[in-house]
Amino acid sequence: MSMIAFRYLHFLGMAFWVGSAIGVAIAAASSTQWENAVAQALRKVTLRVTTPSMLVAFAGGFGMLIPSFTEVYAKAGWMHAKLTLLILLAAATGVLTGKLRRWAGGQEVQGKTFGRLAWVIGILGVLIVTFAVFRPFA
């Protein structure tokens, strides 16, 4: 597979991953009726869109990273920072999925939690893109 194909997969996966995670978190935070059907629908979105998109983003990113890791990326401070933020983004997505699972299972989850997760996921996404574009610490 060519580097352009991996880059395309990476960009497409990141856009759908971060976009769907933020959209689900905002929808959950702004839901006025905390019904089980809403929770189950939002959970389906995370399971069918957000998680597969995360895997596509990882596959594309690692496809670009692995072939030139020792020559280029092992010495790049921006890549280490980006990968650290990526782990935090994956963790925040896991927290979102877990909160939705609890909500769909009938447990009470505060709406503020989803609003905060939307902000965290959004800020992490912007920081990751900033590191990838501007490449500080080079």
What is the separation of C-alpha 32 from the centre of its chain, rounded to a whole number of angstroms?
25
The domain in which residue 120 lies consists of 3-134
CA 68, distance to chain mean position in Å, is: 24
Burial class (CB in 10 A: 0-12, 13-18, 19+), 32: exposed
Distances (CA, A) of 88 to 24, 39, 127: 18, 24, 11
pLDDT digits (tens, 9 = 90+) for 72-126: 788 889 999 999 999 999 999 999 999 999 988 888 888 899 999 999 999 999 9
Token duo for residue 4: 């352009």
- Compute the mean pLDDT over every residue in the chain, rounded to the nearest whole number: 92
**64 confidence band (pLDDT: 50, 70, 90):** very high
Q: How confident is the model over 20-30, as pLDDT tens digits?
A: 999 999 999 98
Total number of domains constituting the chain: 1
The label of the residue with tokens 């959970």 reads 43
